[in-house]
Amino acid sequence: MSKILEANPNTEVLEGARSSFSIKKILYNKYVLYVISICLFLIVLDLFAVLQVFGNFMPRPIEVLTTLINMTVTPLAGKTLPMHLWASLRRVLIAFAIAVFIGVPVGVLMGFSSVANAIISPIFHLFKPMPPIAWISLAILWLGIGEASKVFIIVIGAIVPCILNSYNGIRLVDESLKDALRMLGGNRRQEIIEVIFPASFPAIFAGLQISLSMAWTTVLAAELVGAREGMGFIIVMGMNLSKPSMIIAGMIVIALTAFMISMAVNYLERWVCPWKTELETTE
Amino acid sequence: MENRIGNDGIKNVIECKGISKYFGEGANKKEVLSTMDLSVKENEFVVILGPGQSGKSTLFRMIAGLEKPSTGHIYVNGKEVTGPNPVIGYVFQRYTLFPWKTVMENVEMGPKLKGVGKKERREKAQYFINLVGLNGFEDAYPHQLSGGMKQRVGIARAYANDPEIMLLDEPFGQLDAQTRILMEQEILRIWEKEKRTVCFVTNNIDEAIFLGDRIVMLEGKLPSKMKKIYNVDLPRPRDFTDLAFLELREEITGETELAL
Amino acid sequence: MGENKKNMFLKVLSVVSIVALFLGWQLVVDFGIVPNTLLASPKQVIEMFIYKISNANPDGAVLWVHVMTSLQEALTGYLLALVIGIPLGLAMGWFVVVEGLARPIFEMIRPIPPVAWIPLAIFWFGIGLAGKVFIIWASGLVPCVINSFVGVKMTNPVFIKMAKTYGATDWEIFKDICIPSALPMVFGGLQVALAASWTALVAAELIAADTGLGFLITMGRRLLKPDMIILGMMMVGLTGVIIGIIIDKIEKRLVAGVNK
Ligand SMILES: Nc1ncnc2c1ncn2[C@@H]1O[C@H](COP(=O)(O)OP(=O)(O)OP(=O)(O)O)[C@@H](O)[C@H]1O
Ligand SMILES: [Mg+2]
């Protein structure tokens, strides 16, 4: 039909074709489809719940909503939902700060010095394949079940992208930019300040971004084992109390937080490196 | 070492004596340039003409001190080249603007590295930005510029550092034909205004004849050698349709076909 | 030559670094600087490894069974993620209706970290194979869908236009142009998905399992046996690396096959 449309744009046939086309168009509109999709999704969930496909373990969407509202005001284990969220966020922020504080300098050092790299990188690659969560038992053994062991695990998870991206960022700085600076009379110190640091900045920043989302994932895992507060604790409580609506409410908050973190970081990125758009469009 | 004087009494600012260059060792050894002698006089406009991958950039990098010749010596202003030297201004084949700096910040980089005060270096940068016709774009970032504009910034950046010698490595290779001709005229205008020694690499015969006082032709296959030198005595501005232009073009084209 | 010497030196340095790490670790435990209840020496870990090869005590299964359980769970979930995620992602990339319907749901699920699925998975599918497979599946699905989706979206529009002018149907364009051009992206997703799956599996086994490497780690803590914990961690790392290498090999084969 669309072929006819192109061939003779002024005929009678066309009018009819166009009107039928427009119904199709409405159906094919992305946003209409999005709304349909979400409605269908909720209806199917509701049906699953009502028909008890998963027994009692699939709550109705409306139940989740009331639980969510309920949890924001009534404390659970002495804390309301925002307080639990803050407990998790606090762990993430502390661990993230430690990871950046250690990881970025280590990565930068590795990027600058092939000797440092030869010493550190084999050890790094020895530890890297072990998922951070696998450290949990040792962490508890060493640091007890409190805050320290949780922060430790998150640091393990968050430090990897910090090191890797700083290392690669420094190492992969475009040689021709260094040449350009040298031809303008720059010495080694100026080369580092004027070229190597700014050129590796986007890569390092991307590392921090990955590191932060890694930290958010890891905090949940850490809180699944022996926590008294935090979002991980909430979903474990939901499991122990057989309250799936609590679990799902927790998951929603977790997902929203993850989403907001990544939005915030993206915004920050555009603000701190406005030239970055080039790297995305030309690469 | 003394400044060397050519037989016509004009100072030789660049002298390459028996230089050659290879990369790698043993089985990976790759010879790029074989023994080559070349001298460039003060205020001369020399064009190095050679096909792709004939070691033109390598030659420039050695003159600039970014690469060491495997044998032989290079002298700039009578002193042997041992490393990058800011008396040489280099316009690279690929755009090498600092993407995190604006046009102004890119152009003022040379003076800034020398410790020139902000006001003074801004003035100087502004002069060259105007000279290459980019006034109004001082605060733009490189990714907001077209290819031709980027290359203009590269040229302004090199000039703003007050070099005595300019090396331009296929600066217009990535531009469309129309912009290219415009830029060629531009570069002559700047050269006439800011007399310096200019060495210019190209693989385009028309560009070579349009610009050069002298054309140094390189052999096509590696290791590359100097094949022939043409003196271009045509008055500027040169006309692509001028008979003498076309004759010279014919001659050079014949040479390159032989080389193939 | 100097270059080669330096490389040799760096290699030696790497080996020295690893040896020093293990030696230091052994000594720290041997001299009681760190109590043996908190850290096992490499020697003890190796002894534990040898012991666990044939002994089911104290955690109820020999090492091989733990490895196989984890592998079986991980691979089942992973393959299901590929089988469902890749076609879904590809279709989402090309068919507006599929994108419109699937994308919002996918975008809702996407930011949920895989470990957050653990409680629900246990509720819905139990603590056995099915529950864990679901978790792995959920964590592997996201990268599979994203990469396939982006792969199709990145298809060169010129090819699509060309096919349209030749009268190819939507389905033909999808099948013959979009899918092949998306394949490198899809393959790229395989490794990402694998890493995500493997991490999620370990987390799941830590919380609810009666065999598997994660369980071995948990048991090590309950029994206060650091040698068992470290053995478990090392097996997790090692197995992860080995599957990674295998996937990489398969990927290379497939890419070579596709290119033919
Ligand atoms: N650092 C290097 N290591 C190894 N080989 C190199 C290096 N630099 C250049 N070469 C080789 O030297 C040869 C000549 O390169 P060069 O860039 O000098 O040629 P060119 O004439 O400038 O080419 P083009 O016209 O593409 O700019 C090429 O084959 C290249 O592979
Ligand atoms: Mg070149």
- Chain B residues lying within 8 Å of A195, measured CB to CB: 98
DSSP 3-state assignment of C140?
A: helix
Q: Do A75 and A39 have their domain in common?
A: no
Q: Do A38 and A169 have their domain in common?
A: no
Q: Which of A15, A37, A58 is the last residue of a domain?
A: A58
- Express each pLDDT in B160-203 by its tens digit: 998 999 999 998 887 788 888 888 888 898 888 888 899 999 98
Question: What ranges do the domains of chain C cover?
Answer: 1-39, 40-259
Distance from CA of A167 to the nearest CA of B (A): 20
**pLDDT band, very low/low/confident/very high, at B7 (cuts 50, 70, 90):** low
Q: Do A194 and A127 have their domain in common?
A: yes
Closest CA to B134 of B119, B158, B152: B152
Element (H, E) at C194: helix C179-207
Q: Which residue of chain A has the CA closest to B161?
A: A184
Q: Which residue of chain C has the CA closest to A24?
A: C97
- Chain C residues lying within 8 Å of A247, measured CB to CB: 119-120, 123
Chains in touch with A (3+ beta-carbon pairs under 8 Å) read B, C
Q: Do A119 and A69 have their domain in common?
A: yes
Q: How confident is the model at residue A62, as a pLDDT?
A: 86
Average pLDDT along chain C: 87
Q: Do A203 and A107 have their domain in common?
A: yes
Q: Do A48 and A74 have their domain in common?
A: no
Residue to substitute in B56, B63, B200, B218 for testing ligand 1 pocket (most ligand atoms within 8 angstroms of CB):
B56
- Give the mean model confidence (pLDDT) for residues B143-149: 88
**pLDDT band, very low/low/confident/very high, at B3 (cuts 50, 70, 90):** very low
Q: Do A41 and A118 have their domain in common?
A: no
- Give the mean model confidence (pLDDT) for residues C125-144: 88
Closest CA to B168 of B107, B101, B88: B88
CB-based contact (8 Å) between A183 and chain B? yes
**pLDDT band, very low/low/confident/very high, at A18 (cuts 50, 70, 90):** very low
Q: How confident is the model at residue C129, as a pLDDT?
A: 84
Q: Using the beta-carbon criterion (under 8 Å), do B86 and A201 form an inter-chain contact?
A: no
Domain extent for A235: 65-282
**pLDDT band, very low/low/confident/very high, at A282 (cuts 50, 70, 90):** very low
- Give the mean model confidence (pLDDT) for residues C56-84: 89
Nearest to A183 among B90, B98, B99 (CB): B90
Q: Do A6 and A124 have their domain in common?
A: no
User: Which residues lie across from C252 on neighbouring strands?
Assistant: none
Q: Which of A23, A40, A58 is the last residue of a domain?
A: A58
Residue to substitute in B19, B20, B21, B30 for testing ligand 1 pocket (most ligand atoms within 8 angstroms of CB):
B30
Ligand 1 centroid to residue B57 C-alpha, Å: 7
Is a pLDDT exceeding 90 seen at residue A92?
yes
DSSP 8-state secondary structure symbol assigned to residue C126: -
Is a pLDDT exceeding 60 seen at residue B260?
no
**pLDDT band, very low/low/confident/very high, at B2 (cuts 50, 70, 90):** very low
- Give the mean model confidence (pLDDT) for residues C137-158: 89
Is a pLDDT exceeding 50 seen at residue A79?
yes
Closest CA to B203 of B216, B187, B192: B216
- Express each pLDDT in A202-217 by its tens digit: 899 999 999 998 999 8
Is a pLDDT exceeding 50 seen at residue A194?
yes
- Express each pLDDT in A207-260 by its tens digit: 999 999 899 989 998 898 878 899 999 999 998 888 888 999 999 999 999 999
- Superfamily for C40-259? MetI-like (1.10.3720.10)
Q: Which residue of chain A has the CA closest to B98?
A: A177
Is a pLDDT exceeding 70 seen at residue A4?
no
DSSP chain A: -HHHHHH-TTSHHHHHHHHHHHHHHHHH-HHHHHHHHHHHHHHHHHHHHHHTTTGGGS--HHHHHHHHHHHHHS-BTTB-HHHHHHHHHHHHHHHHHHHHHHHHHHHHHHHH-HHHHHHHHHHHHHHTTS-GGGGHHHHHHHH-SSHHHHHHHHHHHHHHHHHHHHHHHHHTS-HHHHHHHHHTT--HHHHIIIIIHHHHHHHHHHHHHHHHHHHHHHHHHHHHTT-SSSHHHHHHHHHHTT-HHHHHHHHHHHHHHHHHHHHHHHHHHHHH-TTHHHHHHH-
Q: Which of B7-16, C186-195, C215-224, C236-245 has the lowest mean pLDDT?
A: B7-16
Q: How confident is the model at residue B257, as a pLDDT?
A: 67
Q: Do A94 and A41 have their domain in common?
A: no
pTM over 0.80: yes
Is a pLDDT exceeding 90 seen at residue A191?
yes
Residue located nearest, by CA, to atom 29 of ligand 1: B53
Q: Do A214 and A248 have their domain in common?
A: yes
Q: Do A158 and A254 have their domain in common?
A: yes
Share of chain A above pLDDT 70, in %: 87
Q: Using the beta-carbon criterion (under 8 Å), do B143 and A190 form an inter-chain contact?
A: no
Q: Do A92 and A228 have their domain in common?
A: yes
Nearest to C221 among A40, A119, A137 (CB): A137
Q: Which of residues 17-56 of B touch C (CB under 8 A)?
A: 25
Contact assessment for residue C214 and residue C232, using Cβ atoms and an 8 Å cutoff? yes
Q: How confident is the model at residue C85, as a pLDDT?
A: 93
- Express each pLDDT in B191-246 by its tens digit: 888 888 999 999 889 899 999 999 999 887 778 888 888 898 888 888 888 888 88
CB-based contact (8 Å) between A199 and chain B? yes
Query: Residues lining ligand 1, CB < 6 A?
Result: B 23, 30, 32, 50, 52-58, 93, 170, 203
Specify the ligand 1 atom closest to the Cα of B59. 18
Number of domains in chain A: 2
Q: Using the beta-carbon criterion (under 8 Å), do A247 and C123 form an inter-chain contact?
A: yes
- Express each pLDDT in B9-68 by its tens digit: 678 899 999 899 999 887 888 888 888 889 999 889 999 998 888 889 999 999 999 999
- Express each pLDDT in A128-179 by its tens digit: 888 898 898 899 889 988 889 999 999 999 999 999 999 999 999 999 999 9
- Express each pLDDT in B76-96 by its tens digit: 998 999 999 889 999 999 889
Conformation bin of residue A24: beta by default, left when phi > 0, alpha when psi is -120 to 50? alpha
Average pLDDT along chain A: 84
Q: How confident is the model at residue B258, as a pLDDT?
A: 58
Contact assessment for residue C239 and residue C67, using Cβ atoms and an 8 Å cutoff? yes
- Give the mean model confidence (pLDDT) for residues C29-53: 88
- Give the mean model confidence (pLDDT) for residues C149-156: 88
For residue B223, whether the previous peptide bond is cis, meaning omega lies within 30 degrees of 0, is yes
CATH number where A212 lies: 1.10.3720.10
Residue located nearest, by CA, to atom 16 of ligand 1: B55
Is a pLDDT exceeding 80 seen at residue A283?
no
Q: Using the beta-carbon criterion (under 8 Å), do C233 and A133 form an inter-chain contact?
A: no
- Give the mean model confidence (pLDDT) for residues B134-157: 91
Q: Residue A244 and residue B55: Cα distance in Å, rounded?
A: 70
Q: How far is CA A255 from CA A52, A247, A248, C115, C117, in A?
A: 25, 12, 10, 12, 11
Share of chain B above pLDDT 70, in %: 95
